[in-house]
Amino acid sequence: MALYEASATQLLSQLESGEVTSVEVTKACLDRIRQHDSQIGAFLKVMDDKALAKAEQVDKKRKAGEPLGKLAGVPVAVKDLLCTEGEVTTCASKMLENFVPPYSSTVIKKLEEADAVIIGKTNMDEFAMGGSTENSALGKTRNPWDTSLVPGGSSGGAAACLAAQMVPLSIGTDTGGSIRQPASFCGVVGLKPTYGRVSRFGLIAFASSLDQIGPMARTAEDTALFLEAISGHDPADSTSADVACPLFSKTVDQPLEGLRIGMVKEHFGEGLDGDVEKAVREAVKVYESLGAKVVDISLPHNKYGIATYYIIAPSEASSNLARFDSAHYGHRCDEATMLAELEEEKAALTAAGDEVGLKRMDTSLIRMYRKSRAEGFGPEVKRRIMLGTYTLSAGYYDAYYLKALKVRRLIREDYDKAFKSVDLIVGPTAPNPAFAAGSKTNDPLAMYLEDLYTVTANLAGIPAISVPCGLTGSGLPVGMHMQAPALEEDRLLRAAQMFQKATDWHTKMPSL
């Protein structure tokens, strides 16, 4: 087995036994990226020198018998919206094309403490808004299974680099399904932890009450170990859960006895691709063969998930993205041109005697904001800023935002009720397998429906995982979605591991 094919767990055991060095592993990953990333476009930046220096350092420490972190010497890719001190952190936006944060996010710090080798920053939809990674302002990412297809989004780069076997571990973020849907499209494992399980400090916010950083990997075991490394209470994030972090890697191998699986009847209705449905139903049968009991349940307010999400997320985004006014950082328009245009407009309005127009004219400050933001943000980001500005504005707040908050509570209550009778809720991650690039770019609503099954976990703050569970007739991966009550990641990981021990879908990788 080539080094790039190995899982993080396998690599760690080889590193510990001295069969390989971290430098060798890192080089294998860098080679793989060099060979194939021109086709895939998973990375916005590869940090060769830093990665090799870190690998060398870890090798030295290991040789000297010094204590090492949980991920010592294992290469990790990071979605490019986690602030990394001294490294350009772009959010795949022109707005932040040259932004170098003077601080690192808590997760980056944790990865460094875990002695992981951070190999590069992965592509994504701009500010994590999108389901196909086609909204990146800095490049296209393709699906390694078929480069005419999208990898999903917004953590498209994060999923694609795993499927392309460029790296064994990759950090994603999930606001409405952004880890799980691309994991499903690329045939890898993606876990969205409980809200607050992983610190959001240094994560460039999209929708603060929904955003969560999570691990992506090819196996359940790796996912467990990775989650363990990045979780924990952070005093710098007041929404971070002040609970002890379980040792997921120690429990992942324990099968779940008497597992009760909830199947949501609403999840198997209109809009669901036949091959996807078939693969998920087969997967559930695997669990039944392992002794699980299937229970039909209902989540009556799930059907409002998308609508609720597309009010709350843009509302928060419109406010979170206000800081990109180009005054303190970020893209700024060419001021001389802007001022000249303003003068020209003024002259034209004066000549026309348009008093009203003159009165309404921007000040140079407002025009600077306006123009810089117009140039810096892509269309999807603008769409959501406008949506959010609208739903939060004085006359509409009650009708939209406040109502969405109420529905959000009902969705949570549905889950609370459901989890009284089942241990896990299982269904498809996405309604369809990876779709053709460009096929939905002109239809934002169709794109939004990609999050149909995933958004409610974010609205409820509960953990959820996508695990590869089959292939479609045309050979594309299908993801099985599993949800658990808050802080029960342990249950999700054990269930995923049970499945991966009984099947080999997770070992299927595209040939490049």
Partner 1 sequence: MSDDYEIIIGLEVHVQLATKTKLFCRCSTKFGAAPNTQTCPVCLGMPGSLPVMNREAFQLGLKTACALNLNVPRFTKWDRKNYYYPDLPKGYQISQFDLPMSEDGYLFISDPKQQFEAKKVGIIRAHLEEDAGKSMHDEAAGKADTRVDLNRTGTPLLEIVSQPDMRSPLEAKAYLNELKLILTYLGVSDCNMQEGSLRVDANVNLHIKNDGPKKIATPIVEIKNMNSFRAVERAIAYEATRQYDAWKEDGKTIGDAPKQTRGWDDQAQVTRPQREKEESSDYRYFPDPDLAPVITTAEEVEAVQQSLCELPLAIRERLHDGFGIPEYDADVIVNQGRVAVDYYEALALKTGDPKMASNWVQQDVLRVLKERDLEFEQFPISVERLTTLLKAIMDKEIDTTRAKDVFTQMLDSDKDAPAIMKEMGIEKVDDSAIDDLAREVLLANPKAVEDLKNGVQKAVGALIGQAKKKNPNIDPGTFRAKCMELVKDM
Q: Would you name the residues annotated as active-site residues?
A: 79, 154, 178
Note whether 80 binds partner 1 by CB under 8 A: no
Note whether 235 binds partner 1 by CB under 8 A: yes
Q: In terms of C-beta density within 10 A (0-12 exposed, 13-18 middle, 19 or more buried), how is residue 243 classed?
A: middle
Q: What is the C-alpha separation between 79 and 124, in angstroms, rounded?
A: 7
Of 168 and 202, the one with the shorter C-beta distance to partner 1 is 202
Q: What is the C-alpha separation between 460 and 413, in angstroms, rounded?
A: 9
Note whether 363 binds partner 1 by CB under 8 A: yes
**Among the listed residues 41, 73, 75, 101, the single contact to partner 1 using CB under 8 A:** 101
Q: What is the C-alpha separation between 417 and 406, in angstroms, rounded?
A: 17
Of 238 and 421, the one with the shorter C-beta distance to partner 1 is 238
Query: Which amino acid is residue 340, in one-letter code?
Result: A
Alpha-carbon distances, residue 60 vs 18, 31, 50, 197, 269 (angstroms): 12, 22, 15, 32, 56
Beta strands, E only, 195-314: 212-217, 260-264, 293-297
Shortest spacing between CB 91 and partner 1, in angstroms: 8
Of 148 and 364, the one with the shorter C-beta distance to partner 1 is 364
Of 324 and 435, the one with the shorter C-beta distance to partner 1 is 324
**H and E: helices and strands count for the chain:** 18, 11
Choose the binding region for partner 1 from 27-35, 109-117, 202-210, 271-279 (rule: CB under 8 A). Answer: 202-210
Note whether 459 binds partner 1 by CB under 8 A: no
Query: Residue 101 corresponds to which tokens in the numbers above?
Result: 């944060």
Of 57 and 208, the one with the shorter C-beta distance to partner 1 is 208
DSSP string, 283-322: HHHHHHHTT-EEEEE--GGGGGHHHHHHHHHHHHHHHHGG
Of 364 and 507, the one with the shorter C-beta distance to partner 1 is 364
**Among the listed residues 51, 72, 77, 83, the single contact to partner 1 using CB under 8 A:** 83
Partners of 471 in beta bridges: 477
3-state secondary structure of 9: helix
Query: Residue 23 corresponds to which tokens in the numbers above?
Result: 């430098």
Contacts with partner 1, 380-409, as mask; x by CB under 8 A: ---------x--xxx--x---x--------
Q: What is the C-alpha separation between 31 and 24, in angstroms, rounded?
A: 10
Note whether 89 binds partner 1 by CB under 8 A: yes
Note whether 315 binds partner 1 by CB under 8 A: yes
Note whether 239 binds partner 1 by CB under 8 A: yes
Choose the binding region for partner 1 from 100-108, 115-123, 164-172, 433-441 (rule: CB under 8 A). Answer: 100-108
Choose the binding region for partner 1 from 9-17, 42-50, 264-272, 359-367 (rule: CB under 8 A). Answer: 359-367
**What radius of gyration do the chain's Cα atoms show?**
23
Residues that bind partner 1 (CB under 8 A): 81-83, 89, 91, 96, 99, 101-103, 105, 200-205, 207-209, 235-239, 315-316, 318-319, 321-325, 327-329, 363, 365-366, 369, 389, 392-394, 397, 401
